[in-house]
Amino acid sequence: MSILIHAIRGLLMAKADDKGGGGGAKDAGKGPAPTDAPKESAAPGVAGEAPPPESGAAEEDDLPELAKKISIKTVVGSVINERRPAYDEATGKGEEFALMRVWGMARGIRRGSSTYGDWLSFKGDFEAINLQTGVVKRGVECFLPEPVQTEMWGRLIETQKADPGASIQFAFDIWVRGTKGTVGYEYFVKAVMKATGADPLAALRNSVKALPMPSKVVPPKKGAAAAGTSVATS
C-alpha cells in the first residue's frame, strides 16, 4: 500500500511542478547536503559507496510529514488571511489561485457535528502538497470542500454496495476565489485525474442524454455560440 501511495505521489507532484504551482518550492527549508556523503562512483561496490536503495523505497527527504488529518487548514494554514484573493466590483470577477493538491484512497467515512454544523470526513490513506511551500503531508483522515465531498461520498457508497471493503481513489487541486460579501472568498476544486469507483449517476445520465432536449433555450451572446451547438430561433 505504501509503495502505491508513493507512486501516486510522485506522479501527481510531477504534474503540480509542470503547472508551476509548486515549482522551485519543493526544496525550500532543506539544509545543505551532508559533507560526509559518499561520492558517486562509476563502479558499484566501491568501498565507502552507499548501497542502492531498495526498489520502491522513498528517499528520506521525500517522505511526507505525518498529520492527524488532511484539510485546507492543516495543509496551507492561515494563508487566506495573509493573502486573501481580490474581488473586482467592476467586472464581478474574483482573483483565483491554487492552494494545494490532495490525493488518496478512501475506504470509509466519519461523521460528526460541531458549532459550525454537521461534518463528514473520509477515512483511508491521503497525502497533500502545499503548492506555496512544497511541503507534503500524509494522514488517514481527509476533509474535502463541497460539493466534491458529497460527490465522492456518493461514489464510495455506490462502490461498496458490490464490495463493502472496496475503496475509491481521487486527486484534486483545491483553489480559492475572491467573492463579493462578508466572507470574501470561496473554495473550488479541479480534478487532476478521473476518480475511481462507481459513479452513482452514470446509468441515469446515459438514459437522460438519450432523451430529446428542449427545442428552445436561452441564446448565447453574439459571437459566443459554442461549437456544435444549435440554438432554435422559433
* Contact yes or no for 85/176 (Cβ under 8 A): yes
* Contact yes or no for 152/169 (Cβ under 8 A): no
Give the residue from 62, 28, 30 showing the smallest Cα distance to 132: 28
Q: What pLDDT is stored for residue 180 in this prediction?
A: 94
Q: What share of the chain is helix, strand, coil (3-state, %, to 5)?
A: 25, 30, 50
**b/e burial code for range 23-45 (CB count within 10 A of at least 16 → b):** eebbeeeeeeeeeeeeeeeeeee
In a domain, 164, yes or no: yes
Q: What pLDDT is stored for residue 8 in this prediction?
A: 61
In a domain, 97, yes or no: yes
Give the residue from 184, 10, 171 showing the smallest Cα distance to 84: 184
In a domain, 58, yes or no: no
Residue 70 main-chain phi, psi, to 5 deg: -105, 120
In a domain, 6, yes or no: yes
- DSSP-derived pairing of the beta strands 65-66 and 136-142: parallel
Give the domain extent around 178.
2-26+76-207
The tally of domains found in the chain comes to 1
* Contact yes or no for 136/64 (Cβ under 8 A): yes
Give the residue from 153, 127, 130, 150 showing the smallest Cα distance to 58: 127
In a domain, 83, yes or no: yes
Residues 6+ apart with CB under 8 A from 142: 69, 70, 71, 102, 104, 106, 121, 122, 124, 126
Regions of the chain where pLDDT drops below 70: 1-62, 223-234
pTM of the model: 0.65
In a domain, 52, yes or no: no
Q: Torsion over CA of 210, 215, 221 and 227, rounded to 10 degrees? A: 40
In a domain, 225, yes or no: no
How many Cβ atoms sit within 10 Å of the Cβ of residue 97?
14
Look at the block and give the residue holding cell 528517499.
Answer: 59
In a domain, 218, yes or no: no
Cα maximum dimension of the chain? 85
Q: What pLDDT is stored for residue 155 in this prediction?
A: 94
